[in-house]
Amino acid sequence: MFTRIHHIAIICSDYEASKKFYVESLGLTIVKETYRAERQSYKLDLAVNELYQIELFSFPSPPARPSRPEARGLRHLAFEVENLEAAIQKLNSEGIETEPIRIDEITGKRFTFFADPDDLPLELYER
């Protein structure tokens, strides 16, 4: 029935800060940027590795969503990387703090977490 996940939608509190974070710091590619005047809202379509996957939205005064402690619902967004140390070094060079590297006890794979400008948990998961 399903062929793949089409996209993930993220609502941010500061559009320009989040746009800079996802495009400049994380290196995602802008597919299309749309301003919807009737909603006072931006919609930024982003590609990961040339595959359209993330929609970044802005809305006036969005309510805060608890991130920690872990709340019910979608937990985090994970990005697969070839080299965890290189990805961590790139993020740290952009001023983005990462947690210590952990090992997935089920797969044996290494991973770490960092946060976007709205404290949304993001994960790097080594291939």
Q: Is the Cβ–Cβ distance between 111 and 99 less than 8 Å?
A: no
- Whole-model pTM: value is 0.87
In angstroms, the CA 107 to CA 79 distance is 16
Every domain of the chain with CATH number 3.10.180.10 lies at 1-60, 75-127
pLDDT in tens, 8-60: 999 999 999 999 999 999 999 999 999 999 999 999 999 998 888 999 999 99
Homologous superfamily of the 75-127 domain (CATH): 2,3-Dihydroxybiphenyl 1,2-Dioxygenase, domain 1 (3.10.180.10)
| Cα angle 112-115-120, degrees, rounded to a multiple of 5 | 115
Q: Which residue has the tokens 């993930």?
A: 8
- 3-class SS of residue 89: helix
Domain spanning 1-60 has what CATH number? 3.10.180.10
Instruction: Characterize 50-62 residue by residue with b for buried, 16 or more Cβ atoms within 10 angstroms of its Cβ, and e for exposed.
Output: eeebbbbbbeeee
Q: What percent of the chain has pLDDT over 70?
A: 100
Average pLDDT over residues 79-93: 96
Task: Give helix then strand counts, H and E, for the chain.
Answer: 2, 8
